[in-house]
């Protein structure tokens, strides 16, 4: 379910949780926290400007093992309201300035996402005019303009002894315009789709030569091609293709020409500042473990670098400056060997809302297999239905898969719901392999079938080392 911009104000916290329930099983506390945070953003937009500027977003820290839905909650929340969303891993910023990434790059990535979102909407709005312009370009390509003959000079007419017969220019233009209209009518009717035409189109390939420098150079967010794009004319080349393919290509070109990129950039900057969501994963990996030397120094350095971004600062991007004061930050980590209180105090204070996500047990794993929209079982059933094979899972089969996944999570690394992907893939491996030869079959999967296929995986400890 996608909520359009006009409907955002009507989106209550209860509605947000209900929408998230369609994709994520359990974790009610986390869903309520993000729902309230999102609703507060909508409330802030209705406040007087002076007061709205003082209302800071209530950033959220999610604590829980991997595979329990932390990333999925944040991603689905952004999709729900068409908000720019970026996921980054805190470990990317380790030893920033040496081999890590510049912390500001997350804001530039967010702006790029916002620009792409706004541009996509703007391009959709101009598809009508772009299509018409593309069609007339195709007509001109199908009906090239003949070179008009130069009139004979008067002194040559005298020597030739006769007047040369020429079609008046006005008559030529009238005939050509009539022909163009006829070709356009044929094009609109789709009668020329299979005909080949030679078109002059802009080259899409860029130089892509990055500026030389260290890890921090990506903060400039540009390459040589971007620097010179305003100075050098776009290269074009002639390509021969079908009219139907050419129309799509020219329509995309014309749509690009019709949108105002300055307007897109302004709207994207506002969208990133006011609606952007940044998900910082693995934040527990940059927590110092009680020492002040070695790699722990760089870990604490990353926290110090994250602090001004989360606190509110101005970041320069190639589209303009971005204030991070009202971007919603959602941080997450397993915190298995460290505690949230081990974060530097200033950073802790910038994540006032803390929610603990519970590990997934047998019941939750069973529900995850079948309940969410486009769940894992539904995906495999749909894939195999393309081979005309109907796969049916009994309730005891679902329970058995969940029980085995819970056991493997307990005996090995607990990777939560991600374990189900391996289990189901192993379970259906033979069916998937032989599917083209078994078209029209109905395959019933019960608990006995699950045990036969997955018991070797459960018992072979050596094999389990190489599987999730």
What would the pLDDT profile of 128-185 be if each residue is shown by its tens digit? 899 888 888 888 888 766 655 555 555 444 444 545 455 566 777 787 788 888 888 8
Cα separation, 143 vs 187, whole angstroms: 12
Reading the block at residue 99, the tokens are 């081999």
Residue position matching structure tokens 């890590």: 100
Which residue is associated with the tokens 């007087």? 48
Q: Are 109 and 88 in contact (CB under 8 A)?
A: yes
Statement: 362-453 belongs to CATH 1.10.8.60: yes
What the block records as the tokens of 280 is 């910082």
Q: Is 67 annotated as a binding residue?
A: yes
Q: Is 161 annotated as a binding residue?
A: no
CA distance 18 to 28: 10
Q: Pull the structure tokens for residue 387.
A: 């081979």
- In whole angstroms, give the CA distance from residue 147 to residue 122: 39
Establish whether 344 is an annotated binding residue.
no
CB under 8 A, 24+ apart: contacts of 432-438:
432/383, 432/384, 435/384, 435/387, 435/389, 436/387, 438/387, 438/389
282 a known binding residue? no
Q: Which of 334, 11, 123 is nearest to 20 (CA)?
A: 11
Cα torsion 117, 121, 127, 133: sign: negative
Tell me the per-residue pLDDT of 336-376, one tens digit each, with 9 for 90 and over: 888 888 888 888 888 988 888 888 888 989 988 988 888 89
Looking at residue 377, what is its pLDDT?
Answer: 92
Q: Which residues of the chain does CATH 1.10.8.60 include?
A: 362-453
Q: Which pLDDT value is given to residue 1?
A: 40
CATH class of this structure's domain 5-121+270-356? alpha beta
CB atoms within 10 A of CB 28: 13
CA distance 415 to 65: 7
| 111, two tokens | 């702006």
Looking at residue 282, its pLDDT comes to 86
25 is in an annotated binding site: yes
CA distances to 329, 427, 429, 434 from 396, rounded to whole Å, are 41, 14, 20, 25
Round to whole Å and give the CA distance between 145 and 168: 16
- Tokens at residue 368, please? 């995850």
Q: In which element (H, E) is residue 322 found? A: strand 320-323
Beta-carbon neighbour count of residue 9 at 10 Å? 12
pLDDT at res. 388: 92
Helix, strand, or coil here: 445? Answer: strand
CA-based nearest residue to 371, from 8, 20, 13, 7:
20
CATH 3.40.50.300 domain position(s) in the chain:
5-121+270-356
Q: Residue 378 has what pLDDT?
A: 92
Q: CB neighbours of 408 closer than 8 A, spacing ≥ 6?
A: 419, 423, 458, 464
pLDDT at 159: 46
pLDDT of residue 384: 92
Q: Which residues of the chain have pLDDT under 50?
A: 1-6, 96-100, 155-160, 162, 164, 205-224, 463, 465-466, 468
* Close Cβ partners of 83 (under 8 Å, ≥ 6 residues apart): 77, 271, 275, 276, 277
- Does 214 show up as a binding residue in the annotation? no
Please tell me the number of Cα atoms within 13 Å of 267 on its side-chain side: 15
Q: Would the annotation count 418 as a binding residue?
A: yes
440 is in an annotated binding site: no
Residues in the chain: 468
Q: If we measure between CA atoms, which residue out of 111, 117, 116 comes closest to residue 323?
A: 111
Measured between alpha carbons, how far is 39 from 22 in angstroms, rounded to an integer? 19
Would you call 196 helix, strand, or coil by DSSP?
A: strand
C-alpha distance across the termini of the chain, in Å = 32
Short-list 64, 18, 7, CA closest to 330? 64
Residue 72 is assigned to a ligand binding site: yes
Q: CB-based burial of residue 339 (10 Å sphere; 0-12 exposed, 13-18 middle, 19+ buried)?
A: exposed
């Amino acid at each position: 379910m996608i909520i359009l911009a006009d409907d955002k104000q009507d989106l209550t916290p209860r509605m947000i949780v209900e929408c998230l329930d369609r994709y994520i099983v359990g974790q009610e506390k986390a869903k309520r926290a993000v729902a309230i945070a999102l609703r507060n953003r909508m409330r802030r937009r209705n406040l007087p400007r002076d007061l709205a500027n003082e209302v800071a977003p209530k950033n959220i820290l999610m604590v829980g093992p991997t595979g329990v839905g932390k990333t999925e909650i944040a991603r689905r929340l952004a999709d729900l309201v068409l908000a720019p969303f970026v996921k980054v891993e805190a470990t990317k910023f380790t030893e920033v300035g040496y081999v890590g990434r510049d912390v500001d790059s997350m804001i530039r990535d967010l702006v790029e996402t916002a620009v792409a979102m706004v541009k996509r909407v703007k391009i959709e709005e101009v598809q009508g005019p772009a299509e018409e312009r593309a069609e007339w370009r195709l007509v001109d390509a199908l009906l090239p303009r003949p070179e008009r003959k130069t009139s004979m000079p008067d002194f040559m007419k005298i020597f030739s002894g006769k007047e040369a017969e020429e079609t008046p220019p006005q008559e030529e233009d009238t005939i050509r315009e009539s022909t163009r209209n006829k070709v356009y009518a044929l094009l609109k009717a789709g009668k020329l789709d299979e005909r080949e035409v030679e078109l002059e189109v802009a080259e899409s390939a860029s130089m892509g030569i990055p500026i030389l420098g260290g890890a921090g150079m990506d903060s400039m967010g540009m390459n040589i091609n971007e620097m010179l794009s305003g100075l050098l004319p776009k290269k074009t080349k002639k390509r021969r293709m079908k009219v139907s393919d050419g129309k799509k290509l020219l329509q995309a070109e014309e749509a690009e020409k019709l949108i105002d990129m300055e307007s897109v950039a302004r709207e994207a900057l506002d969208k990133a500042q006011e609606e952007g969501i940044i998900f910082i994963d693995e934040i527990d990996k940059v927590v110092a473990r009680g020492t002040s030397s070695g790699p722990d120094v760089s870990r604490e350095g990353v926290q110090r670098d994250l602090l001004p971004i989360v606190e509110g600062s101005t970041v320069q991007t190639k589209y303009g400056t971005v204030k991070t004061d009202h971007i919603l930050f959602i941080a997450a980590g397993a915190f298995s060997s460290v505690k949230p209180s081990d974060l530097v105090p200033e950073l802790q204070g910038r994540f006032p809302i803390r929610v603990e996500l519970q590990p997934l047990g047998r019941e939750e794993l069973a529900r995850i297999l079948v309940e969410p929209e486009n769940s894992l079982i539904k995906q495999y059933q749909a894939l195999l239905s393309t081979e005309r094979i109907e796969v049916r899972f009994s309730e005891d089969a679902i329970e058995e898969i969940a029980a085995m996944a819970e056991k493997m999570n307990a005996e090995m690394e607990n990777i939560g719901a991600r374990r189900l992907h391996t289990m189901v893939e192993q379970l259906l491996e033979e069916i998937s392999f032989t599917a083209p030869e078994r078209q029209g079959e109905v395959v019933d999967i019960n608990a006995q079938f699950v045990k036969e296929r997955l018991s070797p995986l459960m018992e072979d400890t050596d094999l389990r080392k190489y599987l999730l």
